[in-house]
Amino acid sequence: MRELPLPLALTARLSPVVVLACAGWALTSGPFAASPAAADPKAAQQEERGTDDRSSSEPSAPSSTAVTKTYASAPVPCTSIAEKTITSLVPGAKTTGKEIPSTDTNVRRTCSWNALKGYDYRWLDVSFEIMATDEAALKSYQQRTTDKSGGGAVPGLGDSGYSVVNLTTEDKQETREGVVLARSANAIVVVTYNGSDFESKKAPSTDEINKGAIKAAKEAMAALEKGRTG
């Protein structure tokens, strides 16, 4: 067997020694070296205890509390008004009404009644809107009452109530419409009531429309408040 030249043979013999030496350095002084705490169990316990003490002394972040809504969903609108009230306000209409399709019935629901009896036409809408917070409902209520200026407050209707009546004329045909807005906590009730006489082309009186809209709004508010969660 041919012998290796001395330098190469010496290198081959020294290689295991070099490898072991390098491994020893890595375990004692290199990146794989054990920390003093790991080498000394008591030191590790003291370090862990100190970390726990520091953690317990630091203030914890405040926990978030879910907002409780007074009204979680809208009531069934077509049963919110008494049948005798429908018969009185909208003569000839089916008392069952017709619910308007909504993308989210928990948030908004509306029922409509309308009929033409003889030459007298009447239309009634009752709508419930449920918002995320009382503040959001209040902001919406204030914006709407500002937009529908010229009306007045309705005492005893939810947290706040507002009524306005307007007269419009088209092709000499008058139509008088009353709108009542009412807020209770995070919910808003909207009632729209209007009428026309197609024979005389005159509209019902302001008093008739205003009182009819307020009556429907009070019944709708009572139906809403039955569903309070708190």
Q: Tens of pLDDT along 132-177?
A: 999 999 999 999 999 999 999 999 999 999 999 999 999 999 999 9
Q: CA-CA distances (angstroms) from residue 110 to 29, 139, 142, 185? A: 77, 21, 21, 19
Give me the pLDDT at residue 10, please. 35
Residue 69: both structure tokens together: 């809504």
The HSE-up count of residue 12 (CA atoms within 13 Å, CB side) is 7
How far does Cα 230 stand from its chain's mean position? 17
How far does Cα 16 stand from its chain's mean position? 72
All structural domains of the chain with their residue ranges? 6-56, 77-225
Give me the pLDDT at residue 148, please. 92
pLDDT band at 229 (very low <50, low <70, confident <90, very high): confident
**Predicted TM-score (pTM) above 0.75:** no
One-letter-per-residue 3-state SS of the chain = CCCCCHHHHHHHHHHHHHHHHHHHHHHHCCCCCCCHHHHCHHHHHHHHHHHHHHHHHCCCCCCCCCCCCCCCCCCCHHHCCCHHHHHHHCCCCCCCCEEECCCCCCCEEEEEEEEEECCEEEEEEEEEEECCCHHHHHHHHHHHHHHCCCCEECCCCCCEEEEEEEEEEECCEEEEEEEEEEEECCEEEEEEEEEEECCCCCCCCHHHHHHHHHHHHHHHHHHHHCCCCC
Q: Tens of pLDDT along 181-198?
A: 999 999 999 999 999 999
Radius of gyration over every alpha carbon of the chain, rounded to an integer in angstroms: 39
77-225 CATH, one of 2.60.120, 3.40.720, 3.30.70, 2.30.30:
2.60.120
Asked whether 114 and 93 are in contact (CB, 8 A), the reply is yes
61-65, 75-79, 155-159: which has the minimum mean pLDDT?
61-65
Average pLDDT of the chain, as a whole number: 81
